Amino acid sequence: MNGSYNLWLVALSFAIAVCVSYTALNLASRVATARRQYVRMWLAGGALAMGVGIWSMHFIGMLAFTLPIPLSYDIPKTLASLVVAILVSGFALSIASQKRSSLGRLAGAAVLMGLGIAGMHYSGMGAIRIVPFITYEPKLLILSVVIAIVASFAALWLFFRLRGGASWRIFLQRSAAALVMGAAICGMHYTGMFASQFAPGSYCIGATSTSNGWLALLIGGFALSVLLITMILLMYDAHLESRSRQHAVALEDANARLRHLATHDSLTELPNRLLLDDRLTQAISYAERREGRVAVLVIDLDRFKMINDSLGHHGGDELLKEVANRLRGTLRKSDTLARTGGDEFVLIADEVTGQSDVEQLAQRLLACFAKPFHILSVDIHTAPSIGISVYPSDGARAEELVVAADAAMYHSKKVGGNTYSFFTPSMNAFAQQRLELENGLRRALGNGEFELHYQPKVDVTSGRISSTEALIRWRHPERGLVPPGDFIPLAEETGLILQIGEWVLREACRQARQWQVNGMAPVRVAINMSATQFRQKNLVSIVKSALENANLEPTYLEIELTESAVMHNAAASAEILEQLSRLGVHISIDDFGTGYSSLNYLRRFPLDKLKIDRTFIKDVVANPEDAAIVQAIISLAHSLRLKVIAEGVETEQQLQFLRSLGCDQYQGFFCSPAMEPEAFAEMMRAKNPGKFDPLATMSRLYVPVKARKTGTAS
């Protein structure tokens, strides 16, 4: 019995074969690059889409063949052939997901895949309920299987060859490959159809008069819809991946910039104190093993304050950059030059042989200042005062060497400047002053000389006060009000920071509660916690005790920690932060961008806010790099569902820029400097009108903290 073909349906089957091939090439590319947790999802979805497409092509090809008799199909066998198509597709995609594969493995996989495709075709043919059964011409049958295997090998090879990239060249190559693969698939199918032999007088059991054309269009439409949806998902996923990749690159660039800024001075690009301490410690360790020497030279510019006042801050900055450039020219490869603040530079010279070697270096440094500096069209004459200490005679630790060199530098200034001095024990007056300051610190706690001033944190959008930061001040009986920068470093070195930090914690809690008792609406108070204080084993119990003694709800306390404090031991920090968070205390990262951070840990820590360091805000309007960093930090924080506070806001332009980036809060002199508690309360009345309600406050006065549910505060 002879049959004929509907050429329109043949063309439809070829079109579907080409679409399946193109989709398969794109699926292979996606599966190969998908993250591990998404590979199985893409394999399953891709296998289903490819399987439906391949099966539809074969079934439409069968419908394109018409006999003088109506045909009917065994539904279970037909569905079984669909399952075979899906399994074969899944096998092909799993092979394509491998990073690499040899020709031998591809050949073996092609044999299995080709036999699977042939099995799908002939099981589909077997679903025709015809009597007697279909027979096949052996040579054509074998040829169809060979075509299936060869086509499978070509498909797998193309999967590996064309699975990367998204350029127009790749698009054209995949399109051409899809045409070839589609032709090969159709070639296998129609070769198998030609191999089919129908006996004269054959008939079908349960045959109906359903139109093959309409059935083919229905199946083809369904298959093309599945393939179209798959391609849309692939394109959408590629778009998301591209955006994610761009964001990752931007964040990595910003993170690299942050890491650089954490260890380098932003003005001169020289190493900062953090990197200096690390380099000096390494140099001492190396010298100790080899019984060598290390020289530390502290370089301070003479008359810099007068020059800075005359030229302005911009002129002073330009002078510092020029000084840094000249000093660089005197360095050996092993030397380290750092800017430690203001007009002070520190040079580490390792592998020095003796005093004459160090003197030659100091003389080269002095020679750098022989010619004037041309700054803002003005010739500036300045000179350095240099102090020198040498390991091991002047100290065995990095701190001791820097202190000794600093004392020697002050001696150079006393004798007129523009010279260098080696440290001698008689220069210990500076050390004596430090000792007096340390003793004063010890007395200050007992004498009640410390006090807290409060700087408001303001909502960028509404202008209302959101919270406040408690900043310690030392009211010295002789020196007056001493800023924290003058005594906190010494407190850190001596260990007094633990006692001072606990006092700050308890006083801030007491004051926050006192404001509530006085009728002020509850306001969250933030305290700065040092790394030493954060590492206390009983920190959580200390915080809990301070809250209970003040009868303050935990939600009104915020603890600010630096990046370096929490990253010192990230795993232990995470546990402490979790305990504080469960207590109800809010946590923020202070001075973000000036230390080392792991984005992974930032995501895992129970944080509430990131504070952008003032160094990035200072020139954010004029400096594109600072603006990009601030934008990246805000984007990063919001992606982690953290609020962002900008420190050091001093101008309306800075505030407007931060508002345009979606920054949440700010603090700085533009709103107000830190002030005494009474002045802060007055500002609250002015900034947040209508928030004072003594009667509402009285209902909470004597309710124990443990009995309350954690509230919320802006």
Boundary residue ending a domain (211, 231, 246): 246
pLDDT over 60 at 705, yes or no: no
Verify that 462 and 381 share a domain, yes or no. no
pLDDT over 70 at 587, yes or no: yes
658 part of a folded domain? yes
Q: What is the average per-residue pLDDT within 666-690? A: 90
Task: Write the CATH number for 552.
Answer: 3.20.20.450
234 part of a folded domain? yes
Verify that 384 and 477 share a domain, yes or no. no
256 part of a folded domain? no
* Model pLDDT, residue 709: 36
Verify that 383 and 528 share a domain, yes or no. no
Q: How many CA atoms lie within 13 A of 372 on its CB side?
A: 9
- Nearest-angstrom CA–CA distance, 648 and 669: 7
For the chain, give the mean pLDDT: 81
252 part of a folded domain? no
Verify that 223 and 302 share a domain, yes or no. no
Question: What percent of the chain shows pLDDT beyond 90?
Answer: 38
- 212 vs 99: which has the higher pLDDT: 99
259 part of a folded domain? no
176 part of a folded domain? yes
305 part of a folded domain? yes
Encoded tokens for 420 = 């260098």
Verify that 554 and 612 share a domain, yes or no. yes
Determine the structural domain holding residue 608 and report its residue range.
Answer: 450-688
Verify that 672 and 618 share a domain, yes or no. yes
Per-residue pLDDT band for 654 (boundaries 50, 70, 90) equals very high
- Nearest-angstrom CA–CA distance, 674 and 468: 9
Per-residue pLDDT band for 575 (boundaries 50, 70, 90) equals very high
694 part of a folded domain? no
* Model pLDDT, residue 456: 96
pLDDT per position as a tens digit, 127-155: 777 777 777 788 888 888 888 788 777 76
- 56 vs 92: which has the higher pLDDT: 56
Q: How many CB atoms lie within 10 A of CB 599?
A: 14
Q: With b meaning 16 or more CB within 10 Å and e meaning fewer, what string describes 524-561?
A: bbbbbbbbbbbebeebbebbbebbeebbbbbbbbbbbb
pTM of the model: 0.47
Least confident of 205-214, 339-348, 410-419: 205-214
When divided into structural domains, the chain yields a total of: 3
pLDDT per position as a tens digit, 282-310: 999 999 998 899 999 999 998 887 677 56
- Nearest-angstrom CA–CA distance, 594 and 607: 18
Whether residue 392 has a cis bond before it, omega within 30° of 0: yes
pLDDT over 80 at 695, yes or no: no
CA dihedral in degrees (464, 466, 472, 476; nearest 10)?
Answer: 20
Longest dimension (CA), the chain: 124
Out of 165-179, 308-322, 668-682, 691-705, the most confident range is 668-682
pLDDT over 80 at 536, yes or no: yes
Verify that 546 and 616 share a domain, yes or no. yes
Verify that 611 and 671 share a domain, yes or no. yes
* Strand stretches in 542-585, DSSP E: 557-562
163 within 8 A of 25, measured Cβ to Cβ: yes
Verify that 669 and 528 share a domain, yes or no. yes
- Nearest-angstrom CA–CA distance, 228 and 221: 10
- Nearest-angstrom CA–CA distance, 641 and 605: 12
Q: What is the average per-residue pLDDT within 50-63? A: 75
